[in-house]
A and B are shown apart, each in its own frame.
Chain A
Amino acid sequence: MATDRALLRSLTAEWAGLEAQLARDLPAWRPAAGPPLPLSPTAIYAQLEDVLQAMAEMRPAIERHADRFVTGAWTLKDLVGHLASWAAEFRQEVQTAAGGGSFDYVIPFALNVIGPNEWNARAALRQRPLPLADLLQQFERETRRLQDLVLELPPPALYGEATFPLAPSGDPGQLVRGSIAIIALGKCSHDLHHLGRIREFLGRLER
């Protein structure tokens, strides 16, 4: 008659056996030659989910410290508003590109800083009157809509090249050409960068 302990021993031994069996013909993690494998829609979805969960985990601490300044000009709430603005922008860009549309605006990045100062400042002014809960909700809603788009789009739409209204060189004539998949991953990198800094900031406050 098995006890919990004996049952656990049995399960653990079987688990080790399964791992050993699967180790024997473990596939190469990617082909030795050739271009890097594209990330599947499922993998892009997973990275967006990671972003959503990271924000959800920090939400209680963000609510406690929303009015603290993270830079000389922006509070933590402003930074959440920044993430929400970009979530809406990325989702809108993806939706427009997926529908074969074009853009009648450009977001030029400042040449000597990371990110488009002017666009960010305008977005911050627009978001500032909104309560924190609305900003968090906007961030989640837009990110989930992007997840839906990534899972629904056929591969040619997800991986095909399109022109987006981002001008990282600062020259409005030099717009980003890339795929929707790249834009979605760009959002993940953008968000994870800021969420990492927010985690550090909150860690210092609550140490």
Chain B
Amino acid sequence: MAPAGDASPERSILRARARGEVSADESFEDLYRLYGPTVRAWLRVRVPPPVSDDLLQDVFLIFHARWGRWEFRPELEVEGARPVLSFLFRTCHFVLRGYRRKSGREESVEGLDAADEGGPERLTRSVEAGRALELARRLCPTEELGVLLPKLAGVPAREIARTLGLSEPAVDHRFRSALGRIRKALGAPRGGKRGH
């Protein structure tokens, strides 16, 4: 799985592949093991199984085709860059959009609908169990969840902004808005250092 804030596993795989030390198939398998759980988690929070695993397969089938002609560009070697994770996030976003279009669901209401499921009792249980993530899923509108989840997985803000067609400040605003929403539900005061 992908450790947030540590770009080295992806970079090691990319470098080994670029130098021809591993085959395309071997390195793909490594990347699937590294990021499969991340993509699966992104999807699982947004759509129920087994659909989420069907979409996981879609994301990696697309990545498999792209991996065969991956361009190892030097600008992607900079500290903190995670080109594969960013590609997977982007693809995941588009696959989810396609799924919603096909199933006739409006993207903007999904999160709000989810927040109403179960009512206050379930909300209280989530807080008591320390399940902030579950709370996020239930309370945050889709556009905030769409920023929060890749942030938690370590996707660079610039790539989130690019995929969602937003500015970086707008990404930051949504991120903070999501945190504020969860904090409010927890009855906690605003505070702590900014930045993530």
Contacts and interface: CB of A to CB of B under 8 A. Distances in A.
A101 to B, nearest CB: 25
A10 B136 CA distance: 12
Contact of B132 (A7, A30, A56): A7
B58 interface: yes
Contacts of B190: 3-4
A33 interface: no
Contacts of B148: 11
Nearest to B183: A7
Interface stretch (A13-21, A67-75, A79-87, A124-132): A13-21
Contacts of A19: 1-2, 37-38, 40-41, 153
Contacts of B54: 40
A46 B98 contact: yes
A4 B191 contact: yes
A42 B55 contact: yes
A29 interface: yes
A119 B126 CA distance: 62
Contacts of A42: 55, 58, 95, 98-99, 102
B40 A22 contact: yes
A43 B188 contact: no
Given A4-B194, A27-B56, A41 B152 contact: no
A96 interface: no
Interface in B155-196: 162-163, 165, 176, 179, 182-183, 186-194, 196
A109 interface: no
Nearest to B2: A19
Contacts of A53: 90, 94, 163, 165
B49 to A, nearest CB: 10
B179 A7 contact: yes
A66 interface: no
Interface residues of B, number: 61
Nearest to A24: B37
Interface residues of A, number: 40
Contacts of B193: 4-5
A3 to B, nearest CB: 3
B102 to A, nearest CB: 5
B46 interface: no
A76 to B, nearest CB: 21
A137 to B, nearest CB: 18
Interface string B85-123: 000001100110111011000000000000000000000
Contact of A3 (B32, B45, B102, B192): B192
A7 B182 contact: yes
A152 to B, nearest CB: 9
B92 to A, nearest CB: 9
Given A2-B188, A42-B102, A15 B57 contact: no
Contact of B94 (A4, A11, A29, A49): A49
Contacts of A57: 162
Given A8-B196, A22-B37, 19 more contacts: A3-B190, A4-B194, A8-B179, A11-B132, A11-B182, A14-B131, A15-B152, A19-B41, A22-B41, A22-B44, A23-B1, A26-B37, A29-B57, A30-B57, A40-B54, A43-B95, A45-B97, A46-B58, A196-B71
3 A-B pairs closest in CB distance: A3-B192, A45-B98, A5-B192
16 contacts: A1-B189, A5-B193, A8-B179, A22-B37, A23-B37, A26-B32, A29-B36, A30-B60, A40-B54, A41-B98, A45-B94, A46-B94, A47-B94, A57-B162, A147-B101, A151-B101
